[in-house]
Amino acid sequence: MSELELQGWTPWPEDFARLYRELGYWRGQTLADLLADRARHQPQRLALVCGERRWTYRELHRQSLQLALGLHRLGIQRQDRVIVQLPNVAEFFTVCFALFRLGALPVFALPAHRRAEITHFCELAQAKAWIVADRDGGFDFRELARQVVNAAPSLQQVVVCGDAGEFIALDSLLATVGESDFSRTVLSGTDFTGTASSATAPQEDTTLMELSLAEQALPSGPAASDVAFLQLSGGSTGLPKLIPRTHDDYLYSVRASASICELDQHSVYLCALPAAHNFPLSSPGTLGTFYTGGTVVLARRPTPDDCFPLIAKEGVTVTALVPPLAMVWLDAASKRKSDLHSLQLLQVGGARFSAEAARRVKPVLGCRLQQVFGMAEGLVNYTRLDDTDDIIASTQGRPISPADEIRVVDDEDQTVLPGETGHLLTRGPYTIRGYFRADEHNRRAFTADGFYRTGDIVRQLPGGHLIVEGRAKDQINRGGDKVAAEEVENHLLAHPAVHDAALVAMPDAFLGEKTCAFVVTRGDAPRAIELLRFLQGRGLAGYKIPDRIEFIAQLPKTGVGKVNKRELRERIAHRLGATAE
Ligand code: OOB
């Protein structure tokens, strides 16, 4: 058992864990159980739509088990880490549920991540395998894989969804299971009558047999208190952090979110944001939809061109967007005739949504708005469906759980007066107590009594609703994509002609914020384009490449000698304002 114990994460203290169990928040169910339950209770209902392909719950469950067996044979075991980097395709779910069943941990990378991020995740998580698409958005991931395998010694397998080249084809893992096991067992004369009901059609018999065979061939699954996966942190420091979420804690947030958003088996959820992100995954997202037995519809891109026809065709009832996309949707819907009548709820979160835009949602899209203020580390806030229009437009919602502890504090960690603005600290049944393998960082990111320092500046209304007023962490929120300033600065500093660098947010009408790098050079000053190419060459995800570079003689400092980022932000905002006139 001990060798299967995951090292490097911080469980909840025993008294808290006991309380969360007693209160019924942690129920001992795993994410694999979630799908198995649905497949048992409503096997024939439509679970997933991906282009022309459709999966019932039973079919999704069956493929996940087959894949679990295929991955098991490949050597993937309980507690192994597997980087999962897939676009919005059905395989994302079969892969995740297969790994959940094995108790192996998906490490959720975004399709935008490149060599720098993937090699870092491989190293930090000591990942054994990487499951990736052949190509996406014009980028060939097999090319990337050739570079990564050399740089990541822990990586033993690369599994490719699509045309695998010299790597392992995901489909081949599926195919090996059903047929060979089936024929082998038939030949050895195993009696199936106990598993397949005589009332079912022959094809269904086969499915049930396959399900039962796969279950028998698989090792026992994980405990619900185990870490289920590693989610990405938006980060503010040099290297991205990984967030360990357990089956128990995550499922609680999924169940409670589904209930708050009133999902049921008739819900049709459009997954337009990257499926691996916490918002579309669990708030209540795809997992919340599977939990209630509804249907998940995948969109390859979040544009109105892709999504509006899907909404009409599949009768989508609920979806989630980041603010810039919500603006694009509002714009498109007001200009063209679109059939969006099935849409009941639009969730917007990930970055600040202006109250003016919020008020346009109902008249233009014909559905209710829900603001969502969440974080991959845990805490998620929702405006409630029965909140007043004013609360929905002007706040970012209130916490999911009565057990979410919220503290709003000043710079000295002293609680501010009710209604005053301060740093948001939180602790609760689905908020982590520490990042994965990051002891030193954890000492700063959590208080001694286990509150997570969100880095957000908020104010709380008497009814519990939070208003996000700003941010204390050194991060730029680029329309929902989080950029850790220090990470990009370190990459800039690796250039021989860069003496000093500071990345700050600059205002942007579309994304809310973009990134501006202030750079102090030495020797022969490079041109801006050269620096951008340099960053690209270091294998950095596209959204982290600065939107603008400003050369500067020296970085302004505060009284204590830290870089004065406030002054830099003001400087660039002023310059942009001046050029806009
Ligand atoms: C979501 O998760 P992350 O981990 O990508 O980013 C979390 C951070 C928050 O700490 C906050 O700074 C910002 O994103 N944020 C918002 C916001 N929602 C998130 N800032 C202002 N207004 C909002 N509504 O972004 C996330 C996770 C689950 C559900 C929704 C969003």
Distance 354 CA to ligand 1 centre (A): 14
Q: Is the pLDDT of residue 144 over 50?
A: yes
The confidence score (pLDDT) of residue 213 equals 83
Mean pLDDT value across residues 361-373: 98
5 CA to centre of own chain: 24
**With a 6 A CB cut-off, is 512 part of the ligand 1 pocket?**
no
- Which atom belonging to ligand 1 lies closest to the Cα atom of 455? 10
Dihedral, 13, 19, 24, 29 alpha carbons, nearest 10: 20
Helix axes 91-102, 57-73, angle to 10 degrees: 60
Nearest to 307 by CA among 282, 358, 271: 271
Residue with tokens 């050895």, as numbered in its chain: 188
Distance from residue 350's CA to the centre of ligand 1 (Å): 4
In which region does residue 378 sit, left (phi positive, over 0), alpha (psi from -120 to 50) or beta (all else)? left
- What are the helix and strand counts (H, E) for the chain? 19, 27
pLDDT digits (tens, 9 = 90+) for 167-178: 999 999 985 554
pLDDT at residue 556, as a whole number: 98
**Which pLDDT value is given to residue 201?**
66
- CA–centroid distance, 454 to ligand 1, in Å, is 10
Asked whether 379 lines ligand 1 (CB < 6 A), one says no
Determine the atom of ligand 1 nearest the C-alpha atom of 468.
21
Q: 67-78 burial, b for 16+ CB within 10 Å, e for fewer? A: bbbbbbebebeb
For residues 393 and 409, give the distance between their C-alpha atoms in angstroms, rounded to a whole number.
25
Q: Which residues, 6 or more positions from 42, have their beta carbon under 8 angstroms from its beta carbon?
A: 57, 265, 293
At a CB cut-off of 8 Å and minimum separation 6, what does 351 contact?
A: 322, 323, 324, 477, 479, 480, 512, 513
Answer whether 456 contacts ligand 1 (Cβ < 6 A).
Answer: yes
Please work out whether the CB of residue 516 comes within 6 Å of at least one atom of ligand 1: no
As a whole number of angstroms, the distance between CA 574 and CA 581 comes to 11
371 within ligand 1 shell (Cβ under 6 A): yes
Q: Is 474 in the pocket of ligand 1 (CB under 6 A)?
A: no
With CA atoms as reference, report the closest residue to 211 among 226, 196, 233, 227: 196
Mean pLDDT of the region 326-353: 97
283 CB under 6 A from ligand 1? yes
153 confidence band (pLDDT: 50, 70, 90): very high
Output the CA 274–ligand 1 centroid distance in Å: 14
Give residue 4's pLDDT. 65
d(CA 332, CA 324): 12
Q: What is the 209 CA–ligand 1 centroid distance (Å)?
A: 44
**pLDDT tens digits, one per residue of 405-435:** 999 999 999 999 999 999 999 999 999 999 9
Domains of the chain (ranges plus CATH)?
A: 57-232 (3.40.50.980), 247-471 (3.40.50.12780), 476-580 (3.30.300.30)
Instruction: In whole angstroms, give the CA distance from residue 271 to residue 304.
Output: 13
pLDDT digits (tens, 9 = 90+) for 75-107: 999 999 999 999 999 999 999 999 999 999 999
